[in-house]
Amino acid sequence: MALPESPAARHAVVAGEFSRLVEGTADWAAPAPVDGWTARDVVDHLVTWLPGFLAAGGVGLPAGPSASDDPAAAWRHHADAVQALLADRADEEFTHPYVGTHPLAQAVDRFYVSDVFMHSWDLARAGGQEARLDEDFAGELLGGMSAMEDVLRGSGQYGPAVAVAADAPVVDRLMGFVGRDPAWRSPA
């Protein structure tokens, strides 16, 4: 099943899955698959980097609770603010100093929704849950990212790829590409 095409609808589905995982997380100090991160850090990453990204292009999101104080409340506030932004300002032109000019919804979709999608896997693993990730979207991300692997690895945003069998499920191959071991399970 493919995710919706519209950025607002896609965000609603992807953020909804992340919200399900947030609600199912019992231990925010549990290790996550990202070296040195906990479940709380996964949420903190998502609720802090996007406001900075948007601010660089002159767009603000309303401040909310801190993930260090209440990760679930921080996520709910943030996800609602992003959804409102996509509903109210989708066609606005957005110019970021490093990624150029795009319709705002397209920029959020391209740079943020895909990040929420991938970090859903991290939060699921930290919390001992199963992520329900769309295989078609995982394949699209893997194909697009593979085409610019040198740029991505050079950015420092992704660790070295983890070897995964060519016939492994596409979500496992995507996680391996971004430096996650698909066999990783929380020791907690």
Four-residue CA torsion sign, 43, 151, 104, 60? positive
- The 10s digit of each residue's pLDDT in 173-188 is 999 999 999 999 988 6
- The 10s digit of each residue's pLDDT in 151-164 is 777 777 777 889 99
What pLDDT is stored for residue 188 in this prediction? 63
pTM of the complete model? 0.94
**Centroid of chain to Cα 55:** 18
- The 10s digit of each residue's pLDDT in 100-143 is 999 999 999 999 999 999 999 999 999 999 999 999 999 999 99
The residue-averaged pLDDT of 53-57 equals: 95
Q: How far apart are CA 138 and CA 171, in angstroms?
A: 6
Q: How far apart are CA 98 and CA 100, in angstroms?
A: 6
**Which CATH code for domain 7-133?**
1.20.120.450
**Residue 3, SS3 per DSSP:** coil
Q: Domains of the chain: which residue ranges? A: 7-133, 134-180
Element (H, E) at 156: none
